[in-house]
Amino acid sequence: MNTHPNQSREALPPDEVMLEPAGQFAADLRNLRSAVQRAADPQTAQPVPFGWLNAAKRRHRTAQRRGVLAWSLVTVCAALLCIGTLPFLHHPAPPVTAHQVVPVQPVVIDDTALLEQVDTAVSESVPTSLAPLATLDDLSSTTSTNTESSLNAPEKKNVAQ
């Protein structure tokens, strides 16, 4: 079959001619076939022993058992992983909550402080800077240092706050 006579080779389509070795190459392939057959013969020439398939059945059973074991192991690992991650899924991380709560308190404190500041500012008397210019001139002519200090006092207070 490997080597067709020349006539049958010519009858083949061109692409199949490429696939049909001829001459020495075909003889080499025939020798390869014979060699493989002869190499296999000692094993297969003997009659099939009784219980020949028992080994295969044993291997099949072992493979099944190993498969079941592997799947059980995988299932157990997956279950453990799920149980391990469960607390993280149900309870959000505490640091995040603390971070969200902390800024709220200063805001409340700031508001009250701000209200107090507003109250004090409203209750204060009119600052000297808002006094009529004539009065301001008088003040500047007499004790400038005292006036300056009294003028800067509320501003310093505001800066300090």
Partner 1 sequence: MVSTELPPLARAESVLELADFDEVVRLYRPRIFRFLMASLSDRDAAESLTQDCFLKAYNARHQFRGESSLSTWLTRIALNLVRDHLRSRRMRFWQRTRDTALDIVDVGEWIPDGASSPEQVCLQQERVREIWKSVEQFSRQQRTVFLLRFVEEMELAEIAETTGMNTSTVKSHLYRALRIVRDRASGKSEGEQ
Residues lying near partner 1 in the complex (CB under 8 A): 1-2, 15-16, 18-19, 21, 25, 28-29, 31-41, 43-44, 47-48, 52-53, 55-57, 59-60
For residues 15 and 145, which CB has a smaller minimum distance to partner 1 in the complex?
15
- Among left, alpha and beta (phi > 0; psi -120 to 50; other), residue 20 is beta
Q: What's the one-letter identity of residue 116?
A: E
| Residue 45 C-beta: closest distance to partner 1, Å | 8
- Alpha carbons 45 and 47: distance in angstroms, whole number: 6
| Residue 66 C-beta: closest distance to partner 1, Å | 12
For residues 19 and 126, which CB has a smaller minimum distance to partner 1 in the complex?
19
Compute how many other C-beta atoms are within 10 angstroms of the C-beta atom of residue 108.
9
For residues 51 and 84, which CB has a smaller minimum distance to partner 1 in the complex?
51
Torsion of CA 69, 70, 74, 77, to 10 degrees: 60
